[in-house]
């Protein structure tokens, strides 16, 4: 017995009870931890570079789904546009080159490519973040991404990537066999790209290989087989990617140098404008060659001339970007990078107009 009249066992139990939180206290602590996690996630999302303010992910999407949508860059649609536009170029040029193939097939290819671009861009970004999970926390622009900030685990990211890829496959299977084969082969450059900046100064080439594959796929889905014009258009798209992604990469030059990540922005440095002008010229000339190769056999000068006007108007927009470029101003680099959606849409609209002639 103790001096208070309790047995030692009873005294110990009383002390344990005092030192242990009550059920209400434990529930409050858990709720506080959950609120803290939500606050961290919300704060991280607000500091993600180049996110669109008041985007649908932050304002409309279910809260539990938001980290996954951010992992897919659904709050930053520019990447989806840049993946989609070469698809539409290929489909429309294929429709112009083979008049008998036009109609609902063309409409479906363009719709399927739009959905597929959203899904595959999401899967590609998820794979990119999984591959860069040790690098992203070290870079100012990427440290608040869902994986880098701990909002999503690697296992959850892999599952999310698989869901997006399966949905993309279901869309792909609506195309002809040749297009399906090309769609499966597209996974190769997608898989390699995240690692390119570790072994080459030209990772933008690998991005171009992946992002412009849709020109090959959509042309083949439209015409039934892969053709030379599609290959030339594909190379033109790669040159375009070198143009816009070099501008984009100038935002990360200092961080990339610190951690040893390579890019064309670091490679070209102060000579970037000269290289970009070369990519501009190559893009326009190759796109023009693809148009001539595809449409000259039709012997329709009006359609050919109008389509060529699309490539030259596209080039004029790229030249406008160069006139405003300041590689030392990240805000300008980001703005010009985003403007490439409009540049690519010029080609789409003029090709569509040529279909009406």
Distance CA 137, CA 147 (A): 9
Question: CB within 8 A of 258, min separation 6: which ones?
Answer: 138
pLDDT at 82: 97
CA-CA-CA-CA torsion sign (203, 206, 210, 211): positive
Tokens of 248: 């984009």
**Average predicted confidence (pLDDT) for the chain:** 86
CA distances from 78 to 36, 42, 51, 91, 251 (A): 31, 22, 10, 20, 16
User: Rounded to 5 degrees, what are φ and ψ at 177?
Assistant: -60, -40
pLDDT for 50: 59
Do residues 72 and 125 lie in contact, with contact meaning Cβ atoms separated by under 8 Å?
Answer: yes
pLDDT category at 333 given cuts 50, 70, 90 is very high
DSSP secondary structure string for all residues of 228-241? HHHHHHHHHHHHHH
Longest dimension (CA), the chain: 111
pLDDT in tens, 47-76: 555 566 778 888 888 888 888 888 888 888
pLDDT tens-digit profile of 132-182? Answer: 887 778 777 778 888 888 888 889 999 999 999 999 999 999 999 999 999
Q: Are the C-beta atoms of residues 249 and 275 closer than 8 Å to each other?
A: no
The token duo for 146 is: 């869902």
pLDDT at 15 over 60: no
Q: Which region, left, alpha or beta, applies to residue 5 given φ > 0 means left and ψ of -120 to 50 means alpha?
A: left
* Angle between helical axes of 301-324 and 78-97 (0-180°, round to 10): 160
Burial of 63 (0-12, 13-18, 19+ CB in 10 A): exposed
Positive or negative, the CA dihedral 72, 150, 330, 132 is negative
Burial class (CB in 10 A: 0-12, 13-18, 19+), 251: buried
Of 213, 349, 233, 228, nearest in space to 285 by CA: 233
Chain position carrying tokens 């990240």 = 330
pTM of the model: 0.83
SS3 (DSSP) at 60: coil
Contact 350, 88 (CB under 8 A): no
Residue 20's pLDDT band (cuts 50, 70, 90) = very low
Q: What is the CATH number of domain 76-356?
A: 1.10.357.140
C-alpha span between 206 and 186 (Å, rounded): 12
pLDDT of residue 144: 80
């Amino acid at each position: 017995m103790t001096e208070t009249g309790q047995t030692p066992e009873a005294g110990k139990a009383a002390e344990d009870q005092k030192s242990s939180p009550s059920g209400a206290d434990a529930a409050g602590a858990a709720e506080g931890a959950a609120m803290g996690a939500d606050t961290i996630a919300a704060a991280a999302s607000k500091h993600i570079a180049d996110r669109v303010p008041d985007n649908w992910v932050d304002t409309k999407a279910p809260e539990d789904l938001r980290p996954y949508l951010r992992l897919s860059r659904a709050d930053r649609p520019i990447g989806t546009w840049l993946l989609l536009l070469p698809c539409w170029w290929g489909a429309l040029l294929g429709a112009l080159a083979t008049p008998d193939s036009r109609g609902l097939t063309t409409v479906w290819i363009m719709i399927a490519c739009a959905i597929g671009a959203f899904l595959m861009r999401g899967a590609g970004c998820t794979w990119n973040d999984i591959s860069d999970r040790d690098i992203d926390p070290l870079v100012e622009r990427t440290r608040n991404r869902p994986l880098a900030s701990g909002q999503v685990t690697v296992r959850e990211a892999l599952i999310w990537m698989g869901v997006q890829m399966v949905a993309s496959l279901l869309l792909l299977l609506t195309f002809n066999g040749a297009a399906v084969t090309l769609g499966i082969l597209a996974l190769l450059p997608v898989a390699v790209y995240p690692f390119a900046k570790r072994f080459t100064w030209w990772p933008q080439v690998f991005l171009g290989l992946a992002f412009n594959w849709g020109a090959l796929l959509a042309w083949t889905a439209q015409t039934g087989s892969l053709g030379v014009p599609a290959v030339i258009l594909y190379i033109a798209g790669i040159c375009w990617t070198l143009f816009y992604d070099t501008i984009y990469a100038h935002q990360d030059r200092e961080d990339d140098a610190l951690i040893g990540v390579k890019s064309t922005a670091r490679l070209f440095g102060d000579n970037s404008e000269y290289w970009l002008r070369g990519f501009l010229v190559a893009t326009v000339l190759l796109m023009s060659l693809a148009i001539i190769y595809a449409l000259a056999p039709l012997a329709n000068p009006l359609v050919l001339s109008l389509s060529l006007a699309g490539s030259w108007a596209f080039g004029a927009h790229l030249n406008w970007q160069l006139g405003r470029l300041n590689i030392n101003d990240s805000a300008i680099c980001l703005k010009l990078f985003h403007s490439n959606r409009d540049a690519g849409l010029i080609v789409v609209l003029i090709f569509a107009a040529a279909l009406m002639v």
